[in-house]
Amino acid sequence: MTWQITILLQIITSAFLTIFTRTLTLSVRRVFFGVGLISYATIALAGLMYCVMHIGTLPKLPGGAVWFYLLIDGLFIPASWLVQYKIITHLGAANAVIVLSANMITSTLVGILFFRETLSISFLVGAVLILTGILISLKIKPDIEHSSKMSAPAKAGLIIVCSILFAIGMFGEKMAINQLGPWHYMAYGWLMQFVGVLALFLLFGRSEMKHMNIVIAKKATLLGAITSVAGLLYVYALSKGSLSYTVVAISGKSALVLVLAAIFLKERNQMQFRILAFITVVVGLVLILHS
């Protein structure tokens, strides 16, 4: 399968994943770390299954320096996901997919710093446009029926933290994939991400146990299953292309999320600002992609 087809399938899957995540945040209020724990347990099992199905046997235990990158991956990617979950909770699906474009800027900078990918004027202009789109989105209510009590500076803080965690996690993931290949990475990288979420749950989420039930567990499992498919496509694309190009390309899901959110989540308020933010971010992404 080509890089371009993989990216297209990843965009479609991750767009529906964002919509489902927003639906989950609206229906599950008291369980946060628990949702992450069950989701990442599902993802870890799926990663092992994908690996075994491809290579026909259990994967060999990796050795050497790759465990350092797996540790980075296991700590920072789940942490960024948990912050992203909070961003979707407070901003809605369409706004969140716009503001999370900040991840693309930090990830591209990681590619420039560590993988010798080029920095250009078009990248800088694109980054400014993306930041402009993010600022516009911060002023938009999540949807017609819901509003967020979180202040704009607090939202901006979440976005900054998420983008930094995401970029560091992407560095670890790219290095691990380079050394293990995509299939062995899915077995051990996703297992390490589950270990990272488990540690966060034990530290901060044990009080949520009294709120857990079978309905929440089923929803979190489905979230993990969809995430694993999106992750499978992303890892495969990352193994075929550069970090910055892959990360920027999958941001094309913002257009699909904007449409789906308007249809299914009633995110139709202030459409002129939504469209302006979308166009600004898309132009910025195009400039970065061709920098």
pLDDT of amino acid 218: 97
Torsion-angle region of residue 56: left (phi > 0), alpha (psi -120 to 50) or beta?
left
Location of structure tokens 């970065």: 288
Q: How far apart are the first and last CA of the chain?
A: 26
**pLDDT for 131-181, tens place per residue?**
898 889 888 888 888 777 788 888 889 999 999 999 999 889 989 999 999
Instruction: Assess contact for 252 and 104: CB atoms under 8 A.
Output: no
pLDDT of amino acid 291: 63
Q: pLDDT (tens digit, 0 to 9) for every residue of the chain, 291 residues total?
A: 788 889 889 989 999 999 999 999 989 988 999 999 999 999 999 999 999 999 999 898 998 889 999 999 999 999 999 999 999 998 999 888 888 888 878 877 777 777 676 677 887 888 888 889 888 988 888 888 877 778 888 888 999 999 999 999 988 998 999 999 999 999 999 999 999 999 999 999 999 999 999 999 999 999 999 999 999 998 888 888 777 677 777 777 888 898 899 899 989 888 898 999 889 988 887 787 676
